[in-house]
Amino acid sequence: AQKITQTQPGMFVQEKEAVTLDCTYDTSDPSYGLFWYKQPSSGEMIFLIYQGSYDQQNATEGRYSLNFQKARKSANLVISASQLGDSAMYFCAMREGDTGTASKLTFGTGTRLQVTL
């Protein structure tokens, strides 16, 4: 089974509108972390937001928020007030294990977001 599933290969959103990018995950580890990264056409991976499996509240970072539904194993990224500069690939990733040990990220296949005027 895929550990990280992103079912939307591409999404369009109008400028100033909100958009939700879907991510579901699969793990049997009770301790894990979920990340969202943005990858513009330049290629660099830019960290956006993090959610720990034991965090009680949904993470927020400026215009980014993470809709974490643990029972459904989903961690959707919500971008509010979209801007043209938000056009990029977005990757959901998971770290299994607690924060005491650095461990690899497993990435999904990504969603390409296009913001239109």
Partner 1 sequence: EAGVAQSPRYKIIEKRQSVAFWCNPISGHATLYWYQQILGQGPKLLIQFQNNGVVDDSQLPKDRFSAERLKGVDSTLKIQPAKLEDSAVYLCASSLMGLHNEQFFGPGTRLTVL
Q: Which is nearer to partner 1, 68 or 91 (CB)?
A: 91
Q: Which is nearer to partner 1, 85 or 100 (CB)?
A: 100
Q: Which is nearer to partner 1, 12 or 47 (CB)?
A: 47
For residue 110, the minimal CB distance to partner 1 (Å) is 6
Please, which contacts does 12-17 make with residues 24 or more away whose CB atoms are closer than 8 Å?
A: 12/113, 12/114, 12/115, 12/116, 13/79, 13/82, 13/113, 13/114, 13/115, 13/116, 14/82, 14/115, 14/116, 14/117, 15/82, 15/83, 15/84, 15/115, 15/116, 15/117, 16/81, 16/82, 17/81, 17/82
For residue 111, the minimal CB distance to partner 1 (Å) is 11
Q: Which residues bind partner 1 (CB under 8 A)?
A: 4, 33, 35, 37, 42-47, 50, 52, 91, 93, 95, 99-110
